[in-house]
Amino acid sequence: DVKVTQSSRYLVKRTGEKVFLECVQDMDHENMFWYRQDPGLGLRLIYFSYDVKMKEKGDIPEGYSVSREKKERFSLILESASTNQTSMYLCASRPRRQQAYGYTFGSGTRLTVV
Amino acid sequence: QKEVEQDPGPLSVPEGAIVSLNCTYSNSAFQYFMWYRQYSRKGPELLMYTYSSGNKEDGRFTAQVDKSSKYISLFIRDSQPSDSATYLCATPYGNKLVFGAGTILRVKS
């Protein structure tokens, strides 16, 4: 069974902390994505990566950075957490050639910043 | 204006009802349309996808696309309590998926 695994289901962090959200996929997918999900707003793309060490900004990159040192791992970094970054964070991956429907999502990390 | 509009609900129906979930979109360049189902504390899972205008059926689920009016629908027949979830419409555009807000569906037994 193919998987996208997010290391934490729930996280509580303090304002100003540096936060790392980890995502690992076992499908050898080239593309990986970080979305955040908020009520009434749906999923919004933060960053995506189409190859190792490659990244592109999504729609809401402010306050976030990413790292992809290995093909299977994609990390989201909150340099200085703020309360408006309290959200559900979803990682996804897909093969390069299946742009339309090849996405697999992780179960999400619910981050609360206090 | 959001690129994909979807009423967030919640929508509450009795077991056995026919459910209609809808989205509208603004960009004529959108070609593929997907419906994802997301159970509580889980990530979205692909339910159905369509390319052309018309209907696509899979068991109790029917996806419908009307490109002339930029309207997409998901119908669920004989709804079950296990269908209670958030349903998200989505379309690929460039390197990303563009999502609607998601509709929370509750099927009461």
Work out the average pLDDT over A15-25: 97
Q: Residue ranges of chain B with pLDDT lower than 50? A: none
Residues of A in contact with B90 (CB under 8 A): 43
- Which residues of chain A lie closer than 8 angstroms to B44, CB-CB? 43, 90, 105
Residue A25 pLDDT: 96
Name the minimum distance, in Å, from the CA of A104 to any CA of chain B: 7
In chain B, whose CA is at the least distance from the CA of A33? B96
Task: Look at A13 and B32; give whichever has higher pLDDT.
Answer: A13
The 10s digit of each residue's pLDDT in B19-40 is 999 999 999 888 889 999 999 9
pLDDT(A99) > 80: no
Mean of the per-residue pLDDT values for chain B? 93
Chain B residues with beta carbon closer than 8 angstroms to that of A40:
8, 101
CB B63 within 8 A of CB B50: yes
Report residue B32: phi and psi, to 5°: -100, 150
Residue bearing tokens 């970054």: A85
Partners of residue A101 in chain B, C-beta under 8 Å: 32, 34, 46, 49, 92
Could you tell me if A103 lies within 8 Å of chain B, comparing CB atoms? Answer: yes
CA distance A25 to A28: 7
Q: What angle do CA B47, A55, A43 make, to 5 degrees?
A: 35
Mean per-residue pLDDT for A71-95? 96
Nearest chain A Cα distance for residue B14, angstroms: 24
